[in-house]
């Protein structure tokens, strides 16, 4: 097949990459690949320890897709063996529970379905590293471990921090980077994708490949995508993630919560929008930039029509102050009324908009209690509110309902 010129490939590959180790060798590999008409083998490993793929996971997956579109061979490793060890990268303590083989395999099937929304699986080699680790006996494992020193392992930032803090480092965790590196030998990787925390494993893979008389791989490391809080790594356990399987509306609302400071990074890592155009967008109103970002990313996973619909709904219901399209109705018993009315704080509590009378009182005192389509502010927590069918009641901007009177 015909590959694009090397400089054109490098321009695409370098976007959103923090470190290439070693960069000079990547250019040489691309040049040799083009001269011999031989695609490079691009490796990325996923440990199926959960089932929700979020935008942080898509950063290396998108880079893999770019390599595919440049004509190279994607090689996806499903770490059904390494998942039972647990990746220690970025952890300050060991994982509390090891997964079973059944859990890992169930997760792997779901992962592949989601990964297929980013990578062209029809043009991807998919391997499970349990296929080769399952065939290794104790002698083979000892031989592999004999190639790595404890001093080398302790150069890993996560292990070093735990060692200095006198936190335990378990022996099975030390196997993880060795296993990850051996995967590169098994699939004859030319390039491996991952985060900056993977540098040690990438370099160890180069050593093992050289020992096996194979060309050493290049490490392409992406920056860590921060989550909705703008500071911590995107992750489900922190509740600061955007999942690619979420509805377009849920994704839209989350994008609009992003701090302005992360928008350029999100554009660079998650879209193909030219960076000069990104700078122009960011020079304007941040809201417009967020809408463009959200539409672009949502369109990749749910289609552009669905993305535009979600953006229009946000403008109508939240950005423009319009009414939500799906206002819930909540039953309110006539027996609870006092001469056809209720104190404001009690109304919010009975409708389930606040958990207690105290919370309702505080919300109203802060101006968060409102009535009707014009959102009239409730001035006093004990203000008597006349109750009618269809009365629209607000508790802040995100909690609202219509009253449905029942006997």
Selection from 45, 46, 42, 37 nearest residue 66 by Cα: 42
What pLDDT score was predicted for residue 95?
Answer: 47
Whole-model pTM: value is 0.76
| Mean pLDDT value across residues 160-172 | 79
What pLDDT score was predicted for residue 185?
Answer: 97
Give CA angle at 316 (312, 321), nearest 5°.
150
Binned at pLDDT 50, 70 and 90, residue 8 comes out as: very high
What pLDDT score was predicted for residue 321?
Answer: 64
Across the chain, mean pLDDT equals 89
Asked whether residue 280 carries a pLDDT value surpassing 50, the answer given is: yes
| Model pLDDT for residues 311-332, shown as the tens digit of each residue | 998 888 777 666 776 789 999 9
| Model pLDDT for residues 84-143, shown as the tens digit of each residue | 776 565 444 444 456 777 888 888 888 888 899 999 999 999 999 999 999 999 999 999
The share of the chain scoring above pLDDT 90, in percent, equals 65
CA distance 392 to 220: 54
CA distance 206 to 186: 12
Report the Cα 277 to chain-centroid distance in Å: 24
Question: Which helix (H) or strand (E) segment is 261 a member of?
Answer: none
| Mean pLDDT value across residues 192-217 | 93
| Mean pLDDT value across residues 335-361 | 93
Give CA angle at 391 (385, 393), nearest 5°.
75
Asked whether residue 151 carries a pLDDT value surpassing 70, the answer given is: yes
| Mean pLDDT value across residues 173-195 | 93
Instruction: For residue 186, give the 3-state DSSP assignment.
Output: helix
Of the candidate ranges 154-168, 200-214, 260-274, 292-306, the one whose mean pLDDT is the lowest: 154-168
CA distance 334 to 376: 23
Domains of the chain, start order: 6-222 (3.40.50.620), 248-319 (1.10.240.10), 329-406 (3.10.290.10)
Tell me how far CA of residue 348 lies from CA of 24, 101, 325, 358, 402, in angstroms: 65, 49, 21, 11, 11
DSSP secondary-structure letter at 215? Answer: P
Q: Is 230 left (phi over 0), alpha (psi -120 to 50) or beta?
A: left
Residue scoring higher pLDDT (91 or 255): 255
| Mean pLDDT value across residues 278-282 | 95
CB environment 135-159: b (16+ within 10 A), e (fewer)? eeeeeeeeebeeebeeeebeebebb
Tell me how far CA of residue 332 lies from CA of 329, 335, 386, 403, 407, in angstroms: 10, 9, 13, 6, 8
What pLDDT score was predicted for residue 191?
Answer: 98
CA distance 314 to 322: 9
């Amino acid at each position: 097949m015909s590959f694009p010129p090397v400089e054109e490939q490098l321009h695409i590959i370098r976007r959103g990459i923090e470190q290439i180790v070693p960069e000079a060798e990547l250019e040489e590999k691309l040049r040799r690949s083009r001269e011999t008409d031989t695609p490079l083998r691009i490796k990325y490993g996923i440990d199926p320890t959960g089932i929700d793929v979020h935008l942080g996971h898509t950063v290396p997956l998108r880079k893999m897709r770019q390599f595919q579109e440049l004509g190279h061979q994607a090689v996806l490793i499903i770490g059904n063996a390494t998942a039972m060890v647990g990746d220690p990268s970025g952890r300050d303590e060991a994982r509390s529970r090891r997964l079973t083989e059944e859990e890992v395999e169930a997760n792997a099937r779901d992962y592949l379905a989601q990964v297929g929304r980013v990578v062209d699986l029809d043009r991807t080699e998919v391997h499970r590293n349990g296929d080769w680790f399952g065939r290794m006996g104790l002698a083979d494992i000892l031989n592999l471990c004999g190639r790595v020193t404890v001093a080398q392992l302790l150069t890993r930032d996560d292990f070093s921090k735990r060692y200095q803090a006198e936190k335990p480092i378990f022996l099975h965790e030390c196997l993880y980077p060795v296993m990850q590196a051996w995967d590169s030998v098994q699939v004859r990787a030319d390039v491996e994708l991952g985060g900056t925390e993977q540098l040690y494993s990438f370099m160890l893979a180069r050593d093992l490949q050289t020992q096996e008389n194979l060309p050493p791989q290049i490490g392409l490391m992406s920056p860590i995508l921060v989550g909705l809080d703008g500071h911590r790594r995107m992750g489900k356990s922190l509740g600061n993630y955007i999942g690619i399987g979420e509805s377009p509306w849920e994704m839209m609302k989350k994008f609009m919560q992003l701090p302005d400071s992360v928008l350029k990074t999100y554009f660079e890592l998650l879209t193909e929008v030219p960076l000069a155009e990104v700078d122009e967008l960011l020079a304007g109103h941040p809201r417009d930039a967020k809408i463009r970002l959200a539409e672009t990313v949502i369109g990749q996973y749910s289609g552009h029509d669905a993305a535009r619909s979600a953006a229009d709904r946000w403008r109508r219901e939240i950005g423009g102050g319009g009414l939500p399209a799906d206002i819930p109705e909540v039953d309110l018993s006539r027996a609870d009324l006092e001469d056809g009315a209720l104190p404001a704080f009690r109304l919010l509590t009975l409708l389930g908009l606040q958990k207690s009378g105290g919370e309702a009182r505080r919300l109203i005192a802060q101006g968060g209690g409102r009535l009707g389509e014009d959102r009239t502010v409730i001035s006093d927590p004990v203000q008597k509110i006349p109750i009618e069918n269809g009365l629209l009641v607000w508790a802040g901007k995100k909690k609202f309902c219509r009253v449905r009177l029942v006997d």
